[in-house]
Amino acid sequence: MKRITVDILMVITIILEFASLPIMLHQVLGIGLLFLIIYHIKLHKNYFKAIFKGKYNLKRALDLIINIGLLISLLVTIISGILCSRESWKSIKIGNFSMSHIHKSSSVISLVFLVLHLISTHKKLFRELKKIK
């Protein structure tokens, strides 16, 4: 599967996740998104190998901060989503926040980091889209 296909499927899935869907469909899409994210990371393994190599300018440092923020917020969203999906764990509270609140908040934060990630990688994205033509 081409990188651009995975990227497009991820964007479509994320958009659908914010729509009002039946809970079962939301959970299935969430699991599908998890696999797409894992595959996306696998496709970009060279990025992770290069993190500690070379010099950092402002753009590279910002890209790394955005990517780490996106990864952390997605992990919180995924973990809280799994905890929310278990009926017996719905009442778990961390401080004054329920798992549902944490899941919703972290998903919005993930969306903000996703937009920043797409902005920072838009040139690569457009190059990939031009290859499709």
Cα–Cα distance measured from residue 73 to residue 107, given in angstroms and rounded to the nearest whole number: 7
Which range among 11-15, 37-41, 78-82, 86-90 shows the weakest confidence by mean pLDDT?
86-90
Whole-angstrom distance, CA of residue 120 vs CA of residue 123: 8
Task: Give how many domains the chain has, as a whole number.
Answer: 1
* Structural domain of 106: 3-132
The two tokens of residue 45 are 């393994």
The band of 133, judged by pLDDT with boundaries at 50, 70 and 90, is low
Angle at 133 (CA atoms; ends 66, 45), nearest 5 degrees: 35
pLDDT given at position 66: 96
Pull the structure tokens for residue 73: 């917020």
Query: What are the φ/ψ torsions at residue 94 (nearest 5 degrees)?
Result: -115, 110
Residue in this structure with the two tokens 């919005």, named with its chain if needed: 108
Residue 98: pLDDT over 90: no
